[in-house]
Amino acid sequence: MKATFYLIWQVVKLYLRTRTFLFTMVLTPILLFLIYVNIFAAGKPEKIIMLLGPVLVLMATTNGLYGLGGDLLMMRESGTLLPYRLTPVTSAQILVSRLFVDFFLTVFVGAVEVVLAVKLYGMPLRASPWDLVIIATLAVLALGTLGAVIISVANSFPEASMLSQVLFLALLIMSGLTLPLDNLPRFWRGIANFLPTTMLVTSFNGVLVNGDRLAIHWREIVVLILFIGTCGLAASALFRWDKEQKATWRDRILAGIALVPLVLAGVWFNLR
Protein backbone atom coordinates (compact mmCIF):
# COMPACT_ATOMS: atom_id res chain seq x y z
CA MET A 1 0.00 0.00 0.00
CA LYS A 2 2.85 2.42 0.81
CA ALA A 3 4.40 1.73 -2.58
CA THR A 4 1.11 2.53 -4.31
CA PHE A 5 0.74 5.86 -2.48
CA TYR A 6 4.37 6.66 -3.29
CA LEU A 7 3.73 6.02 -6.99
CA ILE A 8 0.59 8.17 -6.89
CA TRP A 9 2.54 11.02 -5.31
CA GLN A 10 5.29 10.73 -7.94
CA VAL A 11 2.73 10.93 -10.75
CA VAL A 12 1.03 13.94 -9.15
CA LYS A 13 4.35 15.78 -8.75
CA LEU A 14 5.29 15.06 -12.35
CA TYR A 15 1.96 16.34 -13.65
CA LEU A 16 2.07 19.48 -11.49
CA ARG A 17 5.48 20.32 -12.94
CA THR A 18 4.20 19.92 -16.51
CA ARG A 19 2.17 22.90 -17.69
CA THR A 20 1.24 21.23 -20.96
CA PHE A 21 -0.33 18.38 -18.99
CA LEU A 22 -2.50 20.74 -16.96
CA PHE A 23 -3.64 22.46 -20.15
CA THR A 24 -4.28 19.21 -22.03
CA MET A 25 -5.94 17.18 -19.26
CA VAL A 26 -7.77 19.89 -17.31
CA LEU A 27 -8.38 23.08 -19.31
CA THR A 28 -8.88 21.54 -22.76
CA PRO A 29 -11.83 19.26 -21.76
CA ILE A 30 -13.55 22.20 -20.06
CA LEU A 31 -13.03 24.46 -23.10
CA LEU A 32 -14.30 21.73 -25.43
CA PHE A 33 -17.34 21.28 -23.21
CA LEU A 34 -18.15 24.99 -23.44
CA ILE A 35 -17.74 24.86 -27.24
CA TYR A 36 -20.00 21.80 -27.42
CA VAL A 37 -22.83 23.30 -25.39
CA ASN A 38 -22.73 26.62 -27.24
CA ILE A 39 -22.50 25.23 -30.77
CA PHE A 40 -24.29 21.88 -30.72
CA ALA A 41 -26.73 22.62 -27.91
CA ALA A 42 -27.08 26.37 -28.55
CA GLY A 43 -26.89 26.92 -24.81
CA LYS A 44 -30.35 25.36 -24.30
CA PRO A 45 -30.68 23.38 -21.04
CA GLU A 46 -32.83 20.61 -22.56
CA LYS A 47 -30.18 19.95 -25.22
CA ILE A 48 -27.20 20.34 -22.90
CA ILE A 49 -28.47 17.60 -20.61
CA MET A 50 -28.61 15.21 -23.60
CA LEU A 51 -25.02 16.07 -24.56
CA LEU A 52 -23.54 15.91 -21.07
CA GLY A 53 -23.42 12.10 -20.77
CA PRO A 54 -21.63 11.54 -24.10
CA VAL A 55 -19.19 14.37 -23.31
CA LEU A 56 -18.29 12.80 -19.96
CA VAL A 57 -17.79 9.37 -21.55
CA LEU A 58 -15.69 10.92 -24.33
CA MET A 59 -13.41 12.49 -21.72
CA ALA A 60 -13.02 9.15 -19.90
CA THR A 61 -12.31 7.40 -23.22
CA THR A 62 -9.61 9.91 -24.15
CA ASN A 63 -8.02 9.72 -20.69
CA GLY A 64 -8.08 5.93 -20.71
CA LEU A 65 -6.72 5.26 -24.19
CA TYR A 66 -4.35 8.19 -24.55
CA GLY A 67 -3.76 9.28 -20.95
CA LEU A 68 -3.14 6.12 -18.95
CA GLY A 69 -2.31 3.93 -21.93
CA GLY A 70 -0.16 6.61 -23.54
CA ASP A 71 1.77 7.28 -20.34
CA LEU A 72 2.58 3.60 -19.81
CA LEU A 73 3.60 3.26 -23.44
CA MET A 74 5.96 6.25 -23.27
CA MET A 75 7.47 4.97 -20.02
CA ARG A 76 8.08 1.53 -21.53
CA GLU A 77 9.52 2.86 -24.78
CA SER A 78 11.82 5.34 -22.99
CA GLY A 79 13.02 2.76 -20.44
CA THR A 80 11.52 4.65 -17.48
CA LEU A 81 9.81 1.51 -16.20
CA LEU A 82 13.02 -0.54 -15.94
CA PRO A 83 14.25 0.99 -12.62
CA TYR A 84 10.94 0.01 -10.98
CA ARG A 85 11.58 -3.62 -11.90
CA LEU A 86 14.50 -3.67 -9.46
CA THR A 87 12.25 -2.58 -6.58
CA PRO A 88 9.41 -4.37 -4.74
CA VAL A 89 6.92 -2.41 -6.89
CA THR A 90 4.55 -4.67 -8.87
CA SER A 91 2.81 -4.11 -12.19
CA ALA A 92 -0.55 -4.03 -10.39
CA GLN A 93 0.64 -1.19 -8.14
CA ILE A 94 1.76 0.85 -11.15
CA LEU A 95 -1.61 0.31 -12.85
CA VAL A 96 -3.56 1.17 -9.69
CA SER A 97 -1.57 4.37 -9.13
CA ARG A 98 -2.24 5.53 -12.69
CA LEU A 99 -5.92 4.61 -12.46
CA PHE A 100 -6.25 6.56 -9.20
CA VAL A 101 -4.81 9.74 -10.74
CA ASP A 102 -6.96 9.24 -13.84
CA PHE A 103 -10.03 8.82 -11.62
CA PHE A 104 -9.31 12.01 -9.70
CA LEU A 105 -8.82 14.04 -12.89
CA THR A 106 -11.93 12.66 -14.58
CA VAL A 107 -14.17 13.22 -11.57
CA PHE A 108 -12.77 16.71 -10.94
CA VAL A 109 -13.15 17.90 -14.55
CA GLY A 110 -16.52 16.17 -14.85
CA ALA A 111 -17.76 17.89 -11.67
CA VAL A 112 -16.63 21.27 -13.04
CA GLU A 113 -18.55 20.63 -16.27
CA VAL A 114 -21.71 19.61 -14.41
CA VAL A 115 -21.52 22.72 -12.20
CA LEU A 116 -21.01 24.95 -15.26
CA ALA A 117 -23.98 23.32 -17.00
CA VAL A 118 -26.20 23.90 -13.96
CA LYS A 119 -25.02 27.36 -12.94
CA LEU A 120 -24.31 29.00 -16.31
CA TYR A 121 -26.97 27.39 -18.48
CA GLY A 122 -29.66 26.41 -15.97
CA MET A 123 -29.52 22.70 -16.79
CA PRO A 124 -31.80 20.71 -14.46
CA LEU A 125 -29.90 18.09 -12.47
CA ARG A 126 -32.21 15.13 -11.93
CA ALA A 127 -29.47 12.62 -11.18
CA SER A 128 -28.02 11.81 -7.78
CA PRO A 129 -24.41 13.05 -7.54
CA TRP A 130 -23.46 9.66 -6.12
CA ASP A 131 -24.91 7.87 -9.16
CA LEU A 132 -22.83 10.11 -11.41
CA VAL A 133 -19.68 9.37 -9.39
CA ILE A 134 -20.33 5.61 -9.59
CA ILE A 135 -20.76 5.70 -13.37
CA ALA A 136 -17.69 7.94 -13.73
CA THR A 137 -15.68 5.48 -11.64
CA LEU A 138 -16.77 2.59 -13.85
CA ALA A 139 -15.87 4.65 -16.94
CA VAL A 140 -12.37 5.41 -15.66
CA LEU A 141 -11.66 1.81 -14.64
CA ALA A 142 -13.16 0.20 -17.75
CA LEU A 143 -11.45 2.45 -20.28
CA GLY A 144 -8.23 2.77 -18.30
CA THR A 145 -7.72 -0.99 -18.02
CA LEU A 146 -8.71 -1.36 -21.69
CA GLY A 147 -6.03 1.20 -22.62
CA ALA A 148 -3.48 -0.74 -20.56
CA VAL A 149 -4.38 -3.99 -22.35
CA ILE A 150 -4.04 -2.33 -25.76
CA ILE A 151 -0.48 -1.13 -25.12
CA SER A 152 0.43 -4.49 -23.56
CA VAL A 153 -0.25 -6.39 -26.78
CA ALA A 154 1.44 -3.80 -29.04
CA ASN A 155 5.12 -4.41 -29.76
CA SER A 156 6.00 -0.90 -30.90
CA PHE A 157 4.90 2.70 -30.62
CA PRO A 158 3.40 2.81 -34.16
CA GLU A 159 1.50 -0.43 -33.53
CA ALA A 160 0.09 0.87 -30.25
CA SER A 161 -0.89 4.17 -31.89
CA MET A 162 -2.67 2.34 -34.72
CA LEU A 163 -4.62 0.08 -32.35
CA SER A 164 -5.58 3.01 -30.11
CA GLN A 165 -6.70 5.14 -33.05
CA VAL A 166 -8.83 2.39 -34.58
CA LEU A 167 -10.44 1.58 -31.25
CA PHE A 168 -11.03 5.25 -30.43
CA LEU A 169 -12.72 5.89 -33.79
CA ALA A 170 -14.93 2.81 -33.37
CA LEU A 171 -15.99 3.92 -29.89
CA LEU A 172 -16.47 7.51 -31.08
CA ILE A 173 -18.72 6.67 -34.03
CA MET A 174 -20.72 3.65 -32.88
CA SER A 175 -21.51 4.15 -29.20
CA GLY A 176 -23.58 7.33 -29.03
CA LEU A 177 -20.67 9.70 -28.41
CA THR A 178 -21.25 11.69 -31.60
CA LEU A 179 -24.63 10.48 -32.86
CA PRO A 180 -27.63 9.28 -30.83
CA LEU A 181 -27.85 5.51 -30.98
CA ASP A 182 -31.36 5.73 -32.45
CA ASN A 183 -29.91 7.48 -35.51
CA LEU A 184 -27.62 4.55 -36.34
CA PRO A 185 -28.73 1.82 -38.78
CA ARG A 186 -30.11 -1.29 -37.12
CA PHE A 187 -27.02 -3.38 -37.87
CA TRP A 188 -24.68 -0.82 -36.29
CA ARG A 189 -26.96 -0.48 -33.26
CA GLY A 190 -26.46 -4.21 -32.77
CA ILE A 191 -22.67 -3.77 -32.94
CA ALA A 192 -22.89 -0.86 -30.50
CA ASN A 193 -24.35 -3.18 -27.85
CA PHE A 194 -20.95 -4.88 -27.59
CA LEU A 195 -19.10 -1.65 -26.67
CA PRO A 196 -18.41 -0.50 -23.08
CA THR A 197 -18.88 3.16 -24.04
CA THR A 198 -22.44 2.38 -25.21
CA MET A 199 -23.23 1.00 -21.76
CA LEU A 200 -21.73 4.08 -20.13
CA VAL A 201 -23.63 6.51 -22.39
CA THR A 202 -26.87 4.59 -21.77
CA SER A 203 -26.33 4.73 -17.99
CA PHE A 204 -25.37 8.43 -17.98
CA ASN A 205 -28.31 9.40 -20.18
CA GLY A 206 -30.67 7.33 -18.08
CA VAL A 207 -29.84 9.06 -14.81
CA LEU A 208 -29.28 12.54 -16.30
CA VAL A 209 -32.06 12.82 -18.88
CA ASN A 210 -34.71 10.47 -17.53
CA GLY A 211 -33.90 10.80 -13.83
CA ASP A 212 -33.57 7.00 -13.52
CA ARG A 213 -32.24 5.36 -10.42
CA LEU A 214 -28.93 3.67 -11.12
CA ALA A 215 -30.40 0.31 -10.11
CA ILE A 216 -32.50 0.36 -13.31
CA HIS A 217 -29.27 0.01 -15.29
CA TRP A 218 -27.99 -2.93 -13.28
CA ARG A 219 -27.28 -4.97 -16.43
CA GLU A 220 -24.82 -2.39 -17.74
CA ILE A 221 -23.25 -2.03 -14.28
CA VAL A 222 -22.73 -5.79 -13.86
CA VAL A 223 -21.16 -6.13 -17.32
CA LEU A 224 -18.83 -3.18 -16.73
CA ILE A 225 -17.69 -4.58 -13.37
CA LEU A 226 -16.93 -7.97 -14.96
CA PHE A 227 -15.13 -6.25 -17.83
CA ILE A 228 -13.02 -4.20 -15.41
CA GLY A 229 -12.08 -7.40 -13.58
CA THR A 230 -11.02 -9.31 -16.70
CA CYS A 231 -9.19 -6.35 -18.26
CA GLY A 232 -7.46 -5.52 -14.98
CA LEU A 233 -6.19 -9.07 -14.58
CA ALA A 234 -5.09 -9.21 -18.22
CA ALA A 235 -3.32 -5.84 -18.03
CA SER A 236 -1.44 -6.92 -14.91
CA ALA A 237 -0.50 -10.33 -16.36
CA LEU A 238 0.61 -8.89 -19.71
CA PHE A 239 2.45 -5.89 -18.26
CA ARG A 240 5.84 -5.42 -19.92
CA TRP A 241 8.66 -3.45 -18.31
CA ASP A 242 10.96 -3.26 -21.31
CA LYS A 243 10.30 -2.51 -24.98
CA GLU A 244 12.61 -5.41 -25.85
CA GLN A 245 10.04 -7.82 -24.46
CA LYS A 246 7.61 -8.78 -27.21
CA ALA A 247 3.98 -9.79 -26.92
CA THR A 248 3.29 -13.31 -28.20
CA TRP A 249 0.16 -14.78 -29.74
CA ARG A 250 -0.56 -16.40 -26.39
CA ASP A 251 -0.56 -12.93 -24.83
CA ARG A 252 -2.96 -11.66 -27.47
CA ILE A 253 -5.28 -14.62 -26.91
CA LEU A 254 -5.30 -13.77 -23.20
CA ALA A 255 -6.14 -10.16 -24.08
CA GLY A 256 -8.97 -11.43 -26.27
CA ILE A 257 -10.34 -13.51 -23.38
CA ALA A 258 -10.59 -10.29 -21.35
CA LEU A 259 -13.26 -9.14 -23.82
CA VAL A 260 -15.53 -12.12 -23.15
CA PRO A 261 -17.89 -10.13 -20.82
CA LEU A 262 -18.51 -7.64 -23.65
CA VAL A 263 -19.21 -10.42 -26.16
CA LEU A 264 -21.69 -12.16 -23.85
CA ALA A 265 -23.32 -8.85 -22.93
CA GLY A 266 -23.68 -7.81 -26.57
CA VAL A 267 -25.45 -11.07 -27.39
CA TRP A 268 -27.64 -10.66 -24.29
CA PHE A 269 -28.60 -7.06 -25.08
CA ASN A 270 -29.36 -7.85 -28.71
CA LEU A 271 -31.67 -10.73 -27.74
CA ARG A 272 -33.64 -8.70 -25.19
Please state, rounded to an integer, the average pLDDT across all residues of the chain. Answer: 84
User: How does residue 96 score in pLDDT terms, banded at 50, 70 and 90?
Assistant: confident
Per-residue pLDDT tens digits for 21-54 = 777 777 888 888 888 888 877 778 888 888 888 8
**14-23 long-range contacts, CB within 8 A, separation 24+:** 15/101
Measured CA to CA, the distance from residue 54 to residue 64 in angstroms comes to: 15
Quick count: other Cβ atoms within 10 Å of Cβ 215?
A: 8
**pLDDT value at residue 228:** 93
Q: Report yes or no on whether pTM surpasses 0.85.
A: yes
Q: What mean pLDDT do residues 125-136 have?
A: 87
241: helix, coil or strand? coil
Q: Which helix H or strand E contains 165, and what residues bound it?
A: helix 157-174
Per-residue pLDDT tens digits for 168-190 = 888 888 887 777 777 778 888 88
Quick count: other Cβ atoms within 10 Å of Cβ 125?
A: 15
**pLDDT value at residue 176:** 78
User: How does residue 222 score in pLDDT terms, banded at 50, 70 and 90?
Assistant: very high
Domain chopping of the chain, boundaries: 14-271
User: How does residue 87 score in pLDDT terms, banded at 50, 70 and 90?
Assistant: confident
**pLDDT value at residue 188:** 84
Measured CA to CA, the distance from residue 232 to residue 215 in angstroms comes to: 24
The one-character DSSP state at 64 is I
User: How does residue 221 score in pLDDT terms, banded at 50, 70 and 90?
Assistant: very high
- Tell me whether residue 157 is exposed, middle or buried, using C-beta atoms within 10 angstroms of its C-beta: 0 to 12, 13 to 18, 19 or more: middle
Q: What percent of the chain has pLDDT over 90?
A: 9
**pLDDT value at residue 223:** 93
**pLDDT value at residue 134:** 92
